[in-house]
Amino acid sequence: MSQHCFPLCWRCTAITLSTIIMIIIFNIFPVQVNLSTLILGIILLFPCAADGILQMFLGMKSNNFRRILTGILCGIAIVLIAECIEYLIISMMK
């Protein structure tokens, strides 16, 4: 981008965009929240966490494709987990 630096890395950009897209999709097509939704959200966090940990502690090199892919999965996971938390809070208030 010539002399300008983009403020977010590839992974953070993918997390942000996929989170926004998933929020829009979930507002159009509501998701049935249950335990499997939470488990899927937690599982989708693992690739992002693993890639970050491998880079930090083992010095493994990552590439932009891997960062985008793990960021998209993480963004989806964030929305799934947030939906579960929202459902739990609303259920407790009833």
Question: What are 31-87's pLDDT values in tens digits?
Answer: 889 999 999 999 999 999 999 899 889 888 888 899 999 999 999 999 999 999 999
Q: What is the pLDDT of residue 68?
A: 94
Domain ranges of the chain: 10-93
**What would the mean pLDDT of 9-19 be, rounded to a whole number?**
93
Res. 2: pLDDT tops 90:
no
The predicted model scores a pTM of 0.86
Tell me the C-alpha to C-alpha distance, in Å, between residue 1 and each of 6, 7, 80: 8, 12, 33
> What is the full DSSP assignment across 5-37?
PPSS-HHHHHHHHHHHHHHHHHHHS----SHHH
